[in-house]
Amino acid sequence: MDDSPASSPPETTQERLEDFAPGQLRNLYRSMLLSRLIEEKMLVLLRQGRLSKWFSGIGQEAIATGVVAALDPSDFVLPMHRNLGVFTGRDIDLPRLFRQLLGREGGFTKGRDRSFHFGHLQKGIVGMVSHLGAMLPVACGLALAAQLRGKDRVAAVFTGDGATSEGDFHEALNLAAVWKLPVLFLIENNQYGLSTPIREQHACRDLADRGVAYGMPGVIVDGNDILAVHRAVARAADRARRGAGPLLLEFKTFRTRGHEEPSGTDYVPRELLEEWKTRDPLRRFEAFLRGREVLSHGDVEKTRSDSKARIDALVDEALAAPEPRSGVDADVLAPSLLTPRAPDAERVQAAPERRYVDAISDGLRTVMRRDERVVLLGQDIAEYGGVFKVTAGLVEEFGKARVRNTPIIESGAIGAAMGLALGGYVPMVEMQFGDFVTCGFNQIVNNLAKTHWRWGERIPVVIRLPVGGGVGAGPFHSQNVESWFTSVAGLKVLAPATPYDAKGLLISAFEDGNPVLFLEHKLLYRSARGRVPDGDYALPIGQARVAREGRDATIVT
């Protein structure tokens, strides 16, 4: 594959089988068939009123199946809601998967929804959220985690054609290209975003052409040809492992059913629908293999019969499982890993006096010296030291791998931090001003805050937010943003008032194991002073500091 950033013509099978052993071809067929038969069973359940929704990927199975078959088992995959083949191709526990799809206890989200809003890190799968495009920056963080560890793992992230208009798509492509991350951006171009045809969504002819704008190759692939998909992904992954950076692949395909089943396909011209049905990837591959005597009629019928019987049994077993229990439970936040370590009074009394800003800097330096998993992300935080100079001097001590300037991508930076956290790191994102967090709001409230509740993974991400007025900065640099987040389940919000609390609570934020928003009032940076002990200490989160005891009134602030 040419490493130069330019689009290439579609990959096709072109009658070539020399790359594939007969057993491998049969396994690809069985994997794609399993995905199709599960979908067909779900449509039966939908008609029977035993399932309330389904997002069909019929007609697109060659992409998910071919992608996971071409990748190493250790590579990360971030699928969307039409990528059932990713889960079956990674050998997910099928009884548990069916409980998930049918909304029963024992599913990956404990029956809280009937979707693919879950992940399985042991299988390298990171699940989606409904807000399209949001997982693209997460793939950058996962790839960065692998890169920092010297591992040759690739992150392959799916998106539909419609979501390529989202800001997260562009932020993620730019970040991956700038940092030369091993990310494969996979566009399933199925010609429609719900009911809106692609010609009304994009002015460009091919979405792969967008790669060149970000300094990466764009490749067009026949998404209904599983061998073409496999070849293109295998070559792209090999390129990424060699350190050549990300790549954009556009799979041309078609969605032969509605966006979800009740929406139907009346908006699609009949002749277009019929034309694409003749390119059905499963029937096409089956005919191809039978024509070359890799499969016989008996093989096909036995595989289909055995798979249908297995699926029927799994559905019956799942439907017999208990309905999920409702109500708020302990899964909203992960159990805290923090062990509070408040210094004794003598140590505090003997401590040097520090400004609020210096206490925060000292806290960052303390956690970075102690824990090599801590990585800082933000605009101008490296050599420049940040707008308020909180991170000044850190890049000289810890290097640019751990103190990383990002492009101006609030949402992309927060999404990448989530990927780093899932990859085993403890990242911090500095918002240049707390007001700018609005540009990353979705990543915080729908990705960071809900991941543990959805599928049980810890998300140890710290976001530092300079907030507040009093410095003549105007309406977009002076807001107090805590009220936007304190009502969001799954977040912890800290706003220390003294230098002593600022250092101790910042250290605690890194240790807690949950997403923490750390609000720093700008007026305090260089006006508030107090005794701050050297070295390590950590204060309890959620426990008030009693400033003075009295008898007549209680004042809480």
What are the structural domain ranges in the chain? 7-319, 332-531
Count of beta carbons in the 10 Å neighbourhood of residue 276: 18
pLDDT in tens, the chain (557 residues): 444 444 555 555 544 666 899 999 999 999 999 999 999 999 999 999 998 888 899 999 999 999 999 999 999 999 998 999 999 999 999 999 999 999 999 999 988 888 899 999 999 999 999 999 999 999 999 999 999 999 999 999 999 999 999 999 999 999 999 999 999 999 999 999 889 998 999 999 999 999 999 999 999 999 999 999 999 999 999 999 999 999 999 999 998 888 888 778 889 899 998 999 999 999 999 999 999 999 999 999 999 999 999 999 999 999 999 988 766 677 899 999 999 999 999 999 999 999 999 999 999 999 999 999 999 999 999 999 999 999 999 999 999 999 999 999 999 999 999 999 999 999 999 999 999 999 999 999 999 999 999 999 999 999 999 999 988 888 999 999 999 999 999 999 999 999 999 999 999 999 999 999 999 999 999 999 999 999 999 999 999 888 899 999 999 88
- Tell me if residue 131 is catalytic: no
Q: How many CB atoms lie within 10 A of CB 117?
A: 19
Number of CB atoms found within 10 A of residue 133's CB: 24
* Residue 402 CB contacts under 8 Å (≥ 6 apart), including other chains: 368, 372, 374, 375, 376
11: Cα within 13 Å, side-chain hemisphere: 26
Q: Which of 259, 452, 477, 521 is catalytic?
A: 477
Residue 151 carries which side chain, given as an amino acid letter? K
Name every residue whose Cβ is closer than 8 Å to that of residue 140 and which is 6 or more positions away in sequence: 155, 172, 175, 176, 179, 181, 183, 412, 415, 416, 419
CB 36 within 8 A of CB 61: yes
How many Å apart are CA 348 and CA 344, to the nearest integer? Answer: 7
- Which of 3.40.50.2000, 3.40.50.970, 3.30.750.210, 3.40.50.1240 is the CATH number of 7-319? 3.40.50.970
Is 136:172 a contact under the CB 8 Å cutoff?
yes
Contact 461, 448 (CB under 8 A): yes
Pick the CATH number of 332-531 from 3.40.50.970, 1.10.3720.10, 3.40.50.2000, 3.30.930.10: 3.40.50.970
From 282, 251, 260, select the one nearest 36 (Cα to Cα): 282
* Cα distances (angstroms) measured from residue 537 to each of 44, 332, 344, 362, 529: 59, 27, 10, 11, 18
Q: Nearest to residue 186, comparing CAs of 12, 65, 5?
A: 65
Say yes or no: do domains 7-319 and 332-531 share a fold.
yes
